[in-house]
Structure formats: C-alpha cells, structure tokens
Structure 1
Amino acid sequence: MKNEPTYNLLKTIDYPEDLRRLDAERLPDICDELRQDIIKELSCNPGHFAASLGTVELTVALHYVYNTPYDRIVWDVGHQAYGHKILTGRREAFFTNRKLGGIRPFPSPEESEYDTFTCGHASNSISAALGMSVAASQKGEKDRHVVAVIGDGSMSGGLAFEGLNNASTTPNNLLIILNDNEMAIDRSVGGMKQYLFNLTTSNRYNQLRFRASRILFKLGILNEERRKALIRFGNSLKSMAAQQQNIFEGMNIRYFGPIDGHDVKNLTRVLHDIKDMKGPKILHLHTTKGKGFAPAEKHATEWHAPGKFDPVTGKRFVTNTDGMPPLYQDVFGNTLVELAKANSKIVGVTPAMPSGCSMNILMSKMPKRAFDVGIAEGHAVTFSGGWQKTDYYLSAISILHSCSEPMTILSMM
C-alpha cells in the first residue's frame, strides 16, 4: 500500500488549474516537493530518474503559464515527463508507474488529455507540435498555444532538423524549448549576451515591436518578405554583438537564451513575456540532469534508470539475479565482442545507446570499431550501409530502440 503524500503544497494540486491558483512566490516550494516526490517514488519503484529531475522547474513553469490541456505541450523523449504526470491528475496513481495495469512509463494520449502525443521516442516533438500549431491556426484557434519540449540529446536527431526547417518557412506561432543538459551547443557568455537577452524578452519591448509591425503592415510599408529580411538583419546585429553565430536565428526562428532552467520564477517570467509573440521561436535552457540529487548530478548516465536505491544515502541496491537468465543486452554485448574478435570486418554502430545495448563492452575493448552516432537512428542505419559498401568492411551492426525500447539488430552482410 502506497503511503499518503506528506507534502503540504503538492498534495493540494491534482491538476494544473490548482497550480495556477498559487502565487508565483510559492513555485520554488512546489518544485522542491515535486522533486522529492519523484525521488521517493522511484527509490522503491524503479524508472527513468535523472532526466525527470532535470525538468522539474520547466514542468511547473509550463503548466503555470499555459492553459493546459487546451494549450498543448509536446514532450520529446518521454522519460523527462514524470513531473508532468504527477501534476496532471496522476499523483495518487504514480506508484503504479511501469507496473501491470498501472500508468504508462511515457506520455500517451490514451492515458490523459494532457499527453498530447505519444513520445517514448526521440526527436519528433518539433514536427508533431508544428502540425498542431498549423492545424490550430487553420481552425481559427488563435488563442491556442503549442509548445515543443526537446532535449536530453534529442536535438541531434535528423527529424528535429527537418521540423526546424519546415517551422522556419511555414506560418506558425510554435514555441520550441531546448532543454540543454550539456549537449553539443556552446554556451554564450559576456555582458552583451545578457543585455540582448533582457532586451528581447522584455514584455514592453515586444509589445512595442508588435504594435509597430502591425502599423507598418497596415500602411503597406511592411510585408511578409520584408519582415523576414528585418528579422535576419536584427539577428545579424545580435550575432555580431554577441560574437557568435546562431543556427536558429539563421533559419528565421527567434532565439532566446540561454537561461537557467532551474530558476523557476525567472523561467515563468520569460514564458509569460514570449507567450503571445507571433512566429516560431526557441527558448534555450541550461539544466542539470539529476538536479537535486547529488549522486545523479555526478553520474547522470548511471542514474538514468538506476533501479531501487536509498533516497537518503543514494546507495543503489543490487538485485539478486541468482537463477535468473542474463540480460538480453549483456548477451548481445558480449556476443558482439566474440564475433568481432573472430571477424575483423565487423563494426558496431549505436544511436546513443551504448550502455542500454551493452555496446560499451565493444567500445572499451575495440574503441576503433565501435561508433556512437548520437540520437540519429536513420543516420545510424545509412551510416552502416555506407560501411557495407566499402571494399574492406562488409558487415555492420546497428542497435535501434523504439518507443517501447526493444532492441533490434540490423546486420548488413
């Protein structure tokens, strides 16, 4: 039997509408209680741990600012969304997560109207959210906001860039939130960067800019092509001042950030200020995977899905495997090494799953014959096909995982 919650604020929040009744000053307290609840629940009922700890403040801010479920939040790599589940009517049932007959491990529209799109996979949030945003506009739902949350490495997937490419040319008001927990995007530094960010997220500045553009459109001075040219010119000035290029602004997507994704009050302010801006925009957050639980902050990979653990000391409990068959991925990992030793033409390719599929064994023993290409599964398959077409390497093995996370071996001989 699950213990009754002991959290003073969290136990009063069944749905986001309850959250929105609170004063903004209480949001850090809600974040603390939500984070502690996730730690407590997952210590005895294992699941994806570190990623959801890193999105606590973002989850609270999104449901506080946006009128969910009418406004739509589209999550990427659904293991970021445990806090979302707890705040959207599933707090009492969360102890059944990943259990037979319980709630699902990833967001699912079949489970809740707050889950706008199935997302156990990666890199599909921008495309799905863009479709929702354009459809809402076509239906005349001018007040409906759509937010795509992408991160935890999923920006490296090709589908994400396909979505960005389409978002840059299709009329839409989509907000893309990049939850950057140390992926390969350089941090911008310096006073000018902060000045430009404070200016461009100023509500007064953006209201003035919006009114001016409407007047110029009515006078016939400004049209869509000229507006895009002005945006490109403004982006060029920002790039020159900040001394760096920005791929998003180069695609006519307004860029804000990077900001601290764990400062919930400032994050809420920024979301309010950019909420009603027209056109596609991206908000870049820096977060820490495993935030608020020291062992997970130090070793995020190990704490991605750590199994049972002591929520106070962080000691992980070793499951008794006596009499149990070995894990499938370990059988695969060790067998791959044996095959690679016997056949010098075998290489291993994995899309960001070296530990999940135990290809890290091959990586440690034969580092020049194992490749992690990031969350880019289509690329992984085609990259493997390119190896196959060489005169020397006749075989490649790629490991993929889908929304239900099975392993699929592709062997090209």
Structure 2
Amino acid sequence: MGSDYLESPDDGECPFSRVFWNGKSPVESLSCPFEDVGIKRTTRRKRVNLDSLGESLRRLTSPTTQTIQLALQRTVEVYKQREIRRNEDGKGEKGVSERCPYLDYSGSEEEADISGILQYSATLLGVRFEELRESFGEELFGLCFEENERVLRAVGSNLQDFFNGFDALLEHLRASCGRRVSAESPSFLCKDAPEEGGLLLLYSHPTPAVGLAMPGLIRAAARRIYHMEVEVQEASPAGDSSSSSSTCPSSSSSCLSFLIKVTRPSASPKPLPLKLSCSPPDLRIGLSTFCRAFPFHLVLDPGMAILQLGEGLRKQAKCEPHRTLNFRDCFEIVSPRIACSFQAILLRLSTPFTIRTRPDNTGLDTKEKVS
C-alpha cells in the first residue's frame, strides 16, 4: 500500500528501515557532522500512489505564482545565454534580464498578465511570440518534471493516456480534500484525429498561464517522458486546424484545442494493439454476467437512450429489465455541472461523473413514470 512518505534509494524495500533509523537512511545517519555544509544530499523519491499522482498533476495544471515566475525567468535566461554566445566578448548593450523588468511581478496568476509579459519580452529579445511562448511551456513542465519525474512517468503509457488520466487523478485529489468538481474545473480530453493524422487535445476551462504554456508543455512531455518529437498547433474548439491562431489564447476561452502530430516517433517498441470486435458472439462474458460483475455502469447512444445498465444502477432506479429507457428520465448529472447531452458528456469523457436517480415526487409507479 502506498504512502506519502519520501523514500531514498538507500532504504531499499524494507518497510522497517525508517523505524530503525529514525526516519533517515543509514547513510544519512552515519554522515560526519564535521564535514562541509555543501555536502551533496541523497536523492530522494516520492512513492507513486493516487495521492502523489494527483498532487503532481495539480502542481502542473495549477502552478503557483512562484513557479510561473521561475519559469518566466528560466525562459529569458535561455535567450540571455544565446545572446552572450553571440558576442565574442560576452557583453551586450544590456543584459536580457535588465531589459525585461516585468519578470519580477507580484500577485496571483489571475492578476498577472502572463501573455503581456511574454509579448513584451519577445519584442525586446527580437524573437517571435510563439517561440517564446513555447519555450515558457517547456520550462514550466521542466520545473514540475524535476520535482516529480518518477510520478509523472507513471501517469500513462503513451501521450494520449497521459493527458486522459488528468481528470480522474485530479478528481481523486479534490475528493480527498473534501472538494467537488465544478463546471469551471479544468478538464482534459485527448482523442484520435485521423483526418489530421494525429491527436486532438481539448482543454476545457483552462487557467490563463497553463493555457498559454500548453504548446511547449505538450512538446516537453512528449520529449522527456515518451522520447518522441511532436508538432503542436492550436486549433479551433471544433478541431479545425485551418483556423489555428498565432496569437495568444484568450483567458476567457472556455475550451482550447491543440492538434498534436508526431514528427519523430519513439524508438521504444510499441505494444501490440488489442483486437476489438463489435460482434456479440465474440464476447468473452455474457451481458447479464457483465452487468452483475460491474453493477454501476451504463452505456448510452447519441440520443441518450440507455443501451446497457448495471444491476446496481437498475435497482437504484427501479427499472425493469428489457425496457427501453432514456437517461434523462431516470438520472440527473450532479457533477460536473454540464448539459445532459451526449456531446456534452463526450467533451468531459475522462472526467469522473456523479449521477443520482431522479426523485419520485408523483404517485405514479415506476413503470408509468419511465415509459
């Protein structure tokens, strides 16, 4: 069973090591007190469990003001080093940091105009805004990756699974803190885009800084976790890549879309794809057995008709078997707060849903009520 304790490589797998050594590894306990203060600390890692996964993603999707500021400073530092290398004597007219006085902003993320800072810095540095924006996203991901590399590598087996795992893990973190998902909670959905030959990432209710950083963040995640190069293009919410925007996204946008195309695939071998079938005779388990084994599942068609219902939900809704039902007649969505439609559900497909049965406020029996 996982925990939130930090572990070091010296602890091994022994669960009693911290008890015997008072919370420290043997190497740390035996270190000489008269050695230099600048001694290299033992590398420590965090255990991978639901709490650590959710916390790492929270830091990535809701960075603190200090993290954003450090990412901005790192971004400008990259171009500062390039400028120094361009000058033979290592001196320019002005240091890049001196020409970008707005990097040391104060206040919350909402109060700070991150896009304005990047626009101003791009003008002073003589680079394109899109290039600086992408570099900012890479630095922001790099900061989180340096702190939580082991945890972030465990989120998904590929880039699509990586982003599709965000919602469930963030919802677990909110639930453990006693908070519920709201209509304004950020949500991620990464799906295949066969027409464009890549993936389409939908980012609903984005935070301003992360929405701005997404192109670079996606590229950095693909490179550092999955060892592949991708090209990221901002698209319209409908997935039309022809209307890609070269300017920064508006913080008021309710949904941002990014088209991801692989330019250099990973050299690691890919797992063999599973062979799927739509034929009922090919089922390894009967439908009735499946509905008993997974009592709280349901399958909907585009018209919100219930095609399949687990036994637990059927008993809660007091529905008779083999009766055609509509989701709206039997259930209502508690969270997230979205329209009760098939398309609205598809946009939050990787978000955990909470539903409840509709209250019986009439004297009609169940058969008359849902018919």
- TM bucket (normalised to shorter chain) is under 0.3
Q: Of the two structures, which has the highest relative contact order with CA contacts closer than 8 Å and spacing of 6 or more?
A: 1
Given the two structures, how large is their TM-score scaled by the length of structure 1?
Answer: 0.24
Larger radius of gyration: 2
